[in-house]
Amino acid sequence: MAAESRGHRRSAAAGARNGRARHHPMDIGLVKVAEREEREGLVLWRRPVTTLHYCCRELLIETARLLRKLWRNRLAVVLVLMLAALAVVVYYTEGEHQQLIGRAEKQLLWCLYWVGLGVLSSVGLGTGLHTFLLYLGPHIAAVTLAAYECDSLDFPEPPYPEQIVCPPESAAADAVADAAAAAAAPVTMWAVMSKVRLEAFMWGAGTALGELPPYFMARAARLSGVEPDDEDFEEFEELRKKKNAGDLSLLDRAKLGVERLVERVGFFGILACASIPNPLFDLAGITCGHFLVPFWTFFGATLIGKAVIKMHIQKMFVIVTFNESLVESAVELLGRLPLGDKVQGPFKELLSKQKEKLHRKPGEGAAPSSESLLSAIFEKVIIIMVIYFVVSIVNSMAQSYHKRLHRSKERKVARD
């Protein structure tokens, strides 16, 4: 018996020397932490060559994966190509239908533009790019200011929605306007909300679509029994393990509150989380996928919350904020602040130029004038945000390839 126990100890020592001791849970945890730190340091401004190299490799892998999927579904691809070819023939064939196609094309592109911005704002690809602040908010503000300046929402089309121009004030137009003045609806907050309802709904629908990847990822992981290689899902699992711990941070308590609300209340819990600005909504999507909440329950509540309830709240806030009287009062108040007279000038110049643009004739270009300071700053901010967005996509793809490399090494070690 003693000889047998000595043999077991010798074999255990030999196993440790051969590297099998590296599979201790604590060692694995340390390796994962070191791997995550290395991956987070894989960015363009620290390791540009490696980042670009990994990004290109990940791009090639994803392209090959897409081509394989298309080949497996080649019958559907051929059918889609045939329908697209038929649509192209109809599009370029002369006839009375061209006017209808032109209107439908303009409306479709306008809707896709806002849906795309909503998806970018929700998915973000690690950037936190909030397109409401950059695009939808300024658009609603411009429509609000124009509505009160023109005392009308009947903007000529074209150029609206690309540009906003007050209705023409010719003699004939005045006669028609006087005849319809009694029946014309006054410019109110509800009228402005109706004017931008399509853009706001499409943007909100885009944000709802952007919440689907975490849901599908967690659902697939639960059904397959294999944990996905995703840090958000790993954070979700760690959070579930901390439930009974007493040293939770405020952020962890907030995340657990979102999880409990979605798990216990279901549809109305998801609706409540989606109806308010909520940076933790990704956790709600992962929770719904993990507990196999039906797709239409999750997506329906998310769509109603984001595209209807939350968008009406955000629209109302922007419209009230950019009411003409409030804006003018705020500009006047700037002059009373220390050094406010230096800031007040550019704001007044911007407002006056915007009002001049609103009163030009439809189809007439803007009067040549020097670019205002605020417009130049806003354009530079948008350019910087777009550059940062592109850079973060490169970083994200490089880090994804880094994760792929380590996962393949782990699988190889497990097989050996």
Chain-centre distance of CA 26, in angstroms? 37
List of the chain residues with pLDDT < 70: 1-29, 124-129, 169-185, 225-255, 279, 326, 328-331, 334-337, 339-375, 416
pLDDT at 161: 81
What phi, psi does 45 have (nearest 5°)?
-80, -5
pLDDT at 187: 79
Give every CB contact of residue 229 below 8 A, 6+ residues apart in sequence.
403, 404, 407
Chain-centre distance of CA 379, in angstroms? 20
User: Are 167 and 161 within 8 A, CB to CB?
Assistant: no
Q: Which amino acid is at 354?
A: Q
> Which tens digit of pLDDT belongs to each residue from 78-106?
999 999 999 999 888 888 888 888 888 88
SS (H, E, C) the chain: CHHHHHHHHHHHHHHHHCCHHHHCHHHHHHHHHHHHHHHHCCCCCCCHHHHHHHHHHHHHHHHHHHHHHHHHCHHHHHHHHHHHHHHHHHHHCCCCHHHHHHHHHHHHHHHHHHHHHHHHHHHHHHCCCCHHHHHHHHHHHHHHHHHHHHCCCCCCCCCCCCCCCCCCCCHHHHHHHHHHCCCCCCCCHHHHHHHCHHHHHHHHHHHHHHCHHHHHHHHHHHHHCCCCCCHHHHHHHHHHHCCCCCCCCHHHHHHHHHHHHHHHHCHHHHHHHHCCCCCCHHHHHHHHHHCCCCHHHHHHHHHHHHHHHHHHHHHHHHHHHCCHHHHHHHHHHHCCCCCHHHHHHHHHHHHHHHHHHHCCCCCCCCCCCCCCHHHHHHHHHHHHHHHHHHHHHHHHHHHHHHHHHHHHHHHHHHHC
> Which tens digit of pLDDT belongs to each residue from 101-112?
888 888 999 999
pLDDT at 263: 74
CA distance 212 to 118: 13
pLDDT at 14: 46
User: Are 372 and 349 within 8 A, CB to CB?
Assistant: yes
pLDDT at 250: 64
> Which tens digit of pLDDT belongs to each residue from 135-165?
888 899 888 888 888 888 888 777 788 778 8
Tokens linked to 90:
């109809």
What is the gyration radius of the CA atoms in the chain, in angstroms? 29
CA distance 367 to 365: 6
The whole-model pTM stands at 0.71
Please report how many Cα atoms fall inside a 13 Å half-sphere around the Cα of residue 343, on the Cβ side: 11
Quickly tell me which residue has 């109706």 as its tokens.
Answer: 194
